Amino acid sequence: MSAKNPVFDRPSPEAQAAVDEAIRTRHSMRAFLDMPVPRETLEDILRVAARAPSGTNTQPWQVHVLTGAALKRLSDRIMAVYDDPQELSTHQEEYAYYPREWVSPFIDRRRKVGWDLYGLLNITKGDKARMHEQHGRNYRFFDAPVGLIFSIDRVMQQGSWLDYGMFLENIMIAARGRGLHTCPQAAFTQFHRLIAEELKFGPEQMLVCGMALGYADPNAIENSLVTERAALDEFVRFLDQ
C-alpha cells in the first residue's frame, strides 16, 4: 500500500473550521491592549506567512518590525508632522492607493464604513478636530505593541504587488490563529520619505503600507465594527457551458 501524499490529503473538519474561523474573524481592529507579543510568536507568524505564492518564487516582501522605543520614535516623528498643517502639506503618497475618480458602488462602500466607524465613536459630520484625532491614531498603530512596515524593491512591478497582498493576508490570518488581531494601514504611505529616513531604507526600497498587530481591546467600541460584504451574485459568475 502506498503512503498517502500529504499534499492531497483532505483536511479534517476541525482543520477546515479553524481556517474558516480565522478568515471570518479577521477584521481591522483600531484599539489594542498594552500586552507584548513575544518575538518567537512574531517570527512564527512571518515564517508561515512567507509561504505565500509569488511569481517564479520572487518573494518580493521586506518587513520592518517595530516594538518598544523604535515604534514610539517613528510614531512621534509622524505625529509631529501630522499635527503641523504646513509641514503636512509637503508630504504626499508615492503611489495611488485609491482611484482618482470615485464611482458607485465603491464610493458608497467607502462612505458607509467611514460613517459607521464615526457613528460608533460619536464623531459627527463636520467635526474636523475629532476626525483628525481619530485618523491620527493610525500613526500610533492604534496603541498596538507591534508595528509592521512593509517595503518592496522598486524594480518589482504590478504582479509582485499582487503577490505582496497574499503575503499580507497570510500574516493577518496567521495572527488570528494565535489569538491576535491586526489592522492593515495604507495611511502610512503619505509619510514614505520620513519612514524611509527613520528606518534607513536603501534607495531601492519603496514603502508599501503599515500594519498594527497585537491583542485587540475587547472593550473598545470601535472594535465592534464588522464591515459588510457583498453577496456572491454581486461579484461572482459561474460558467459551465
56 pLDDT higher than 90: yes
pLDDT score recorded for residue 35: 97
Residue 228 placed within a domain: no
DSSP assignments along 189-217, one per residue: GGGHHHHHHHTT--TTEEEEEEEEEE-B-
84 pLDDT higher than 90: yes
In order of 3, 48, 135, 184, the CA distances from 211 in angstroms are: 42, 17, 14, 4
| Banded pLDDT at 106 (limits 50, 70, 90) | very high
Mean pLDDT for the stretch of residues 211-233: 97
Residue 76 placed within a domain: yes
Residue 153 placed within a domain: yes
Find out whether 75 and 210 touch, Cβ atoms under 8 Å: no
Q: Rounded to the nearest 5°, which phi and psi values hold at 11?
A: -65, 155
Residue 237 placed within a domain: no
Domains identified in the chain, total number: 1
Residue 183 placed within a domain: yes
Largest CA distance in the chain: 74
pLDDT score recorded for residue 10: 85
29 pLDDT higher than 60: yes
Q: Which of 103, 45, 113, 34 is nearest to 67 (CA)?
A: 34
The chain-wide mean pLDDT, for the chain, equals 96
Residue 31 placed within a domain: yes
Among the ranges given (3-7, 57-61, 110-114, 118-122), the one the predictor scored with the smallest mean pLDDT? 3-7
pLDDT score recorded for residue 169: 98
**CATH at residue 212:** 3.40.109.10
Q: What's this model's pTM, rounded to 2 decimal places?
A: 0.94
Mean pLDDT for the stretch of residues 205-230: 98
Return the C-alpha torsion angle 109, 81, 211, 99, nearest 10: 30
9 pLDDT higher than 90: no
pLDDT score recorded for residue 4: 63
191 pLDDT higher than 70: yes
In tens, the pLDDT along 125-174 reads: 999 999 999 999 999 999 999 999 999 999 999 999 999 999 999 999 99
| Banded pLDDT at 5 (limits 50, 70, 90) | low
Residue 238 placed within a domain: no
Residue 150 placed within a domain: yes
| Banded pLDDT at 236 (limits 50, 70, 90) | very high
More confident position, 9 or 142? 142
Which residues form the domain of 52? 26-97+138-223
C-alpha–C-alpha distance, residues 212 and 36, integer Å: 13
Instruction: Name every residue whose Cβ is closer than 8 Å to that of residue 216 and which is 6 or more positions away in sequence.
Output: 29, 31, 32, 33, 181, 223
Q: Is 90 exposed, middle or buried (0-12, 13-18, 19+ CB in 10 A)?
A: exposed
User: If you search the block for the grid coordinates 464591515, which residue do you land on?
Assistant: 227
Q: Which of 88, 60, 79 is nearest to 137 (CA)?
A: 79
C-alpha–C-alpha distance, residues 10 and 112, integer Å: 40
223 pLDDT higher than 60: yes
